Amino acid sequence: MILQKEIHIGPNPRGFHLITHEIVDNFPEMIKINKGIIQLFIKHTSASLTINEAADSTVRADFEAHFNEMVPENQSYYQHTMEGPDDMPAHLKTSIVGCNIQIPITEGMLNLGTWQGIYLCEHRNRGGIRSLVLTAWGE
């Protein structure tokens, strides 16, 4: 069985946002899969997806602080600057983090670890609504 759905999340300010519940709430069809995989794909070049700590919000704040140090704005070598100082760093951060993740499905539920959650990583100061394609397959 293969299931696919496009959902929309946000808009969110720049930062790392937990979206695990939004994924589950917007994809109730996942209950049909006993054992399988779900792939989440974000259709944008300035936002990304990852899995990490879901219990302590300071982890998400630290992610944002670290990425801003690692990929700063207003670098003299950036040529792509027409859309503002946060745009080129957003593209770089997206390539570093990635645009898709896969998670096992067990008995119709995401099989995440106890402390894991899905992050939407918004790399623009004022990100718009983000579109995600959810594709699940299994038995």
What's 65's domain CATH number? 2.60.120.460
The residue range of the domain holding 101 is 6-72+83-127
Query: Is residue 134 a part of any domain in this protein?
Result: no
The string of pLDDT tens digits covering residues 36-91 is 999 999 999 999 999 999 999 999 999 999 999 999 999 999 999 999 999 999 99
Query: Is residue 139 a part of any domain in this protein?
Result: no
Number of other CB atoms surrounding residue 80 within 10 Å = 9
Residues 100, 39 contacting (CB under 8 angstroms) = yes
Query: Is residue 137 a part of any domain in this protein?
Result: no
Task: Give residue 42's pLDDT.
Answer: 98
Task: Give residue 52's pLDDT.
Answer: 98
Query: Is residue 77 a part of any domain in this protein?
Result: no
pLDDT band at 125 (very low <50, low <70, confident <90, very high): very high
Query: Is residue 116 a part of any domain in this protein?
Result: yes
Distance CA 82, CA 109 (A): 43
Average pLDDT, stretch 3-28?
Answer: 97
Query: Is residue 78 a part of any domain in this protein?
Result: no
Contacts of 107 by beta carbon, 8 Å cutoff, 6+ apart: 34, 35
Query: Which residue type is seen at 104?
Result: P
Task: Give residue 124's pLDDT.
Answer: 97
Query: Is residue 132 a part of any domain in this protein?
Result: no
Q: Is the pTM of this model over 0.85?
A: yes
Q: How many domains does the structure of the chain reveal? A: 1
Distance CA 34, CA 105 (A): 7
